[in-house]
Amino acid sequence: MKTIDDLQVAGQRVFVRADLNVPLDGETITDDGRIRAAVPTINKLLDRGAKVIVASHLGRPKGAPDPQYSLAPVARRLGELLGKQVAFATDTVDESARATVAALGDGEVALLENLRFNAGETSKDDAERGAFADRLAALADLYVGDGFGAVHRKHASVYDLPARLPHAAGELIAAELSVLKKLTEDVKRPYAVVLGGAKVSDKLGVIDHLLEKADRILIGGGMAYTFLKAQGHEVGRSLLQEDQVPAVRDYLRRAKERGVEFVLPVDVTAAPEFPDLKTKAPANPRVIAADAIPADLQGLDIGPETRKLYASKLADAATVFWNGPMGVFEHPDFAEGTRAVAQALLDSPAFTVVGGGDSAAAVRILGFDENAFGHISTGGGASLEYLEGKTLPGLAALED
- Sequence ranges of the binding site: 19-21, 34, 57-60, 116, 153, 203, 299, 330, 356-359
Residue 258 appears among annotated catalytic residues: no
Of 221, 327, 337, 357, the active-site residue reads 357
Residue pair 193/255 in contact (Cβ under 8 Å)? The answer is: no
Give, in order, the Cα–Cα distances in Å from 67 to each of 76, 91, 139, 250: 16, 12, 24, 46
Q: What radius of gyration do the chain's Cα atoms show? A: 22
- Provide the 10 A C-beta neighbour count for residue 39: 16
Q: Which of 34, 48, 237, 339 is catalytic?
A: 34
40 cis-preceded (ω within 30 degrees of 0): no
CA-to-CA separations, 245 to 124, 223, 229, in angstroms, rounded:
32, 11, 7
Residues flagged as binding site for ATP:
203, 299, 330, 356-359
Known catalytic membership, residue 98: no
Annotated catalytic residue 130 = no
> CA angle 163-169-172, nearest 5°?
140
Instruction: Please check whether residue 150 is in contact with residue 19, taking contact to mean a CB–CB distance below 8 angstroms.
Output: yes
- Mark the binding-site residues for substrate, compressed into ranges: 19-21, 34, 57-60, 116, 153
Helices (H) and strands (E) in the chain, counts: 13, 17
Active-site residue, selected from the candidate residues 98, 164, 199, 390: 199
Q: Which residues are annotated as a binding site for (2R)-3-phosphoglycerate?
A: 34, 116, 153
Whether residue 381 lies in the annotated active site: yes
The answer to whether the CB of 264 falls within 8 A of the CB of 227 is: yes
Name the residues annotated as catalytic.
34, 199, 357, 381
